[in-house]
C-alpha cells in the first residue's frame, strides 16, 4: 500500500527540482556578460533586482501550473496562502551580490513545508554545476551522491562559515563576534549564500555555519539538507533555527559552538 506522505514528498521533490533548474537556466543565460564591469553602478543593481523578480515569477508560475492549490512564501513578495496545506518557500537568487559580481556562489533555493514542517528542499547552484536535495527522513544528496557531514573535529580545528547583514549596526556587532571567534577555530569563511553554506556543511566543505538575520527563504531548503546529512541545526540553546540565530554543525561541534555564540551574544545586535 502506498504511503501518502512518501508519495507527496516524491511529488514535491520532483516539482522543486524542475522549478529550480528552470530558474537556474534563466538566471545563468539571462545574466548580461558586462554586469560585473558595471557592478558599482545603480543600473547593474537594477538588473539583478529585475532578474530576482523574474526568477521568482518563473518559479511561482511553474508551481501554480503543477500545484495550483499550494501557498507560496517568496522573497520578492510573491506570497499567498493556498488550500492544500502545502507552502513553498522560495528564494529566487540566494547570494545576489555574488550574482552581481559574477562570483559562482549563488543559487536557487526552494523548499516545501506542510503543517510547519519542511518536507523537501532543493538548492541548485548553476555556476557550481551542483544540485543539493533532501526529503524529510530520506537523507540528503549532492546530485546522486549521498551527502554526509564531516565528523566533528576538535573545536580549534573547525572551519566555520558565517555571513554578515546589510545594516551597519548589525554588521559591526557581527564583526565583533567573529573577532572573538576566529582565534578559537581553524578559520572563518564568508561565502555570501546562506543556502550554499548550509549545504557545504552537509557535504563536509565546512565544519559548521552560523549567522544572524536570515529569513525563512534563506534557510528553509538548506536547513533540511544539512539535517538530513547528519547535522544538528538550531538557534539559541533549546530553540529552533530562526532569523534570530542559525547554527549548523555535526554533533559534538554544534553544542560548544552554540554555547560560545550564546556567550558572545551572536543572537542580538
The answer to whether 200 is annotated as binding is no
Instruction: Say if residue 269 carries a ligand binding annotation.
Output: no
187 annotated ligand-binding residue: no
Quick one: which of 73, 66, 58 has its CA closest to 28?
Answer: 58
Q: Is 91 annotated as a binding residue?
A: yes
**246-249 and 117-125 strand pairing:** unpaired
93 is in an annotated binding site: yes
Contact 191, 163 (CB under 8 A): yes
Binding region for Mg(2+): 75, 91, 93-94, 218
Binding region: 75, 91, 93-94, 218
Amino acid at each position: 500500500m502506498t504511503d501518502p506522505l512518501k508519495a507527496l514528498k516524491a511529488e514535491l521533490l520532483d516539482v522543486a527540482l524542475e522549478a529550480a533548474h528552470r530558474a537556474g537556466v534563466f538566471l545563468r543565460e539571462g545574466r548580461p556578460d558586462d554586469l560585473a564591469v558595471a557592478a558599482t553602478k545603480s543600473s547593474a543593481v537594477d538588473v539583478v533586482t529585475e532578474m530576482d523578480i523574474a526568477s521568482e515569477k518563473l518559479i511561482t508560475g511553474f508551481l501554480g501550473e503543477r500545484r495550483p492549490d499550494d501557498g507560496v512564501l517568496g522573497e520578492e513578495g510573491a506570497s499567498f496562502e493556498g488550500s492544500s496545506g502545502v507552502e513553498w518557500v522560495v528564494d529566487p537568487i540566494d547570494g545576489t551580490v555574488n550574482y552581481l559580481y559574477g562570483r559562482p556562489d549563488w543559487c536557487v533555493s526552494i523548499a516545501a513545508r506542510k503543517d510547519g514542517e519542511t518536507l523537501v528542499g532543493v538548492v541548485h547552484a548553476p555556476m557550481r554545476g551542483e544540485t543539493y536535495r533532501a526529503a524529510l527522513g530520506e537523507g540528503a544528496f549532492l546530485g546522486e551522491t549521498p551527502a554526509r557531514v564531516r565528523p566533528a573535529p576538535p573545536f580549534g580545528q573547525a572551519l566555520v562559515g558565517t555571513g554578515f547583514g546589510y545594516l551597519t549596526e548589525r554588521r559591526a556587532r557581527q564583526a565583533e563576534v567573529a573577532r572573538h571567534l576566529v582565534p578559537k577555530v581553524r578559520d572563518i569563511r564568508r561565502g555570501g549564500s546562506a543556502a550554499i553554506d548550509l549545504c557545504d556543511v552537509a557535504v563536509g566543505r565546512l565544519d559548521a555555519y552560523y549567522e544572524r538575520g536570515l529569513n525563512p527563504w534563506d534557510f528553509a531548503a538548506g536547513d533540511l539538507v544539512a539535517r538530513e546529512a547528519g547535522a544538528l541545526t538550531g538557534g539559541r540553546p533549546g530553540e529552533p533555527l530562526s532569523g534570530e540565530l542559525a547554527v549548523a554543525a555535526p554533533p559534538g561541534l554544534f553544542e560548544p559552538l552554540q554555547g560560545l555564540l550564546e556567550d558572545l551574544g551572536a543572537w542580538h545586535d
